[in-house]
Every structure is written in C-alpha cells, then in structure tokens.
C-alpha cells in the first residue's frame, strides 16, 4: 500500500489521518504499522520524515492499550535485537517512540531506551533517545 511511491502517498495518508476523527482499531493499526516501519529503513530522507509525520498523525488515534503495546513491541524490536539498517534507521525508530503517549507501555519503553543508551555511539541517535526518555519517566 505505502510502498509503491512513498514520497507521493505519505503526505496524502498523513493529511487523511490528520483529519480522521475516529480511533484506530487494532486491525487497522496492524495493517498500517508494517509499512511505517518499512519506511523507517529507507535511505531516502523524505520517506523517513514522511513516515514520522504519518506516525504523528496516527498516534493520537490509537486508544487501545493493546494497540499501543503492539506498536511499542514492533518499533523497539529491531533496535533491541540489533537488526537496524544503520544510524538513520535507529534515529527514525526513536523518533517514532518519542510520540507514543505515556501509559502502561512506558515501563517497557524506558527499559528499551536505557538498554540502547548504554550501547549507542552515534550522537544524533543519542539525542533522539534522550528526547524520548523524559516523557515516559
């Protein structure tokens, strides 16, 4: 869905979800999150910023705890397993984490961020981690 030409379709999806008034059910989130996570791997900066903007539009619509947990688990998984495609990918993932609302999943986010804080050597990624941590503490 989002992968054909993300530079073109991401702003359209973002505009749609910015004006969408209903909450996202878990099934919708499970269909939207994989293309978003795939976009964070892109070497194209426009695509990465587009998926971050789309995530910003979608996050307020996720009201179920199971949806938030699913999101946190899937966003943190590549980082915690060491399966990221580089600095830009990790940076995009941590920017997604910054916009997850506080709640029961905050404990898991803090554990994941602190574990990564100990290992990370790139300053821009460390900045993203340090911006995400205070919100969930």
**What confidence tens digit (pLDDT) does each residue in 49-98 have?**
999 999 999 999 999 999 999 999 999 999 999 899 999 999 999 999 99
Q: Please give the average per-residue pLDDT across 27-50, as a whole number.
A: 94
Q: Cβ–Cβ contacts within 10 Å for residue 92, how many?
A: 27
The rounded mean pLDDT for the chain is 92
Q: Cβ–Cβ contacts within 10 Å for residue 114, how many?
A: 11
Mean pLDDT lowest for which of 1-15, 88-102, 104-118? Answer: 1-15
User: Alpha carbon of 109 to those of 11, 88, 89, 96, 99: distances in Å?
Assistant: 28, 20, 17, 11, 12
């Amino acid at each position: 869905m989002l992968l054909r030409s993300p530079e073109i379709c991401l702003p359209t999806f973002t505009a749609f979800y910015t004006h969408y008034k209903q909450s996202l059910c878990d099934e919708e989130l499970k269909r939207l999150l994989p293309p978003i996570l795939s976009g964070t791997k892109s070497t194209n900066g426009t695509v990465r910023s587009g998926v971050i903007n789309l995530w910003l539009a979608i996050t307020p619509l996720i009201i179920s705890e199971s949806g938030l947990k699913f999101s946190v688990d899937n966003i943190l998984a590549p980082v915690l397993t060491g399966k990221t495609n580089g600095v830009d990918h990790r940076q995009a993932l941590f920017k997604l984490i910054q916009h997850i609302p506080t709640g029961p999943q905050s404990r898991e986010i803090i554990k994941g961020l602190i574990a990564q804080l100990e290992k990370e050597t790139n300053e821009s990624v460390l900045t993203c981690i340090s911006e995400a941590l205070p919100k969930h503490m």
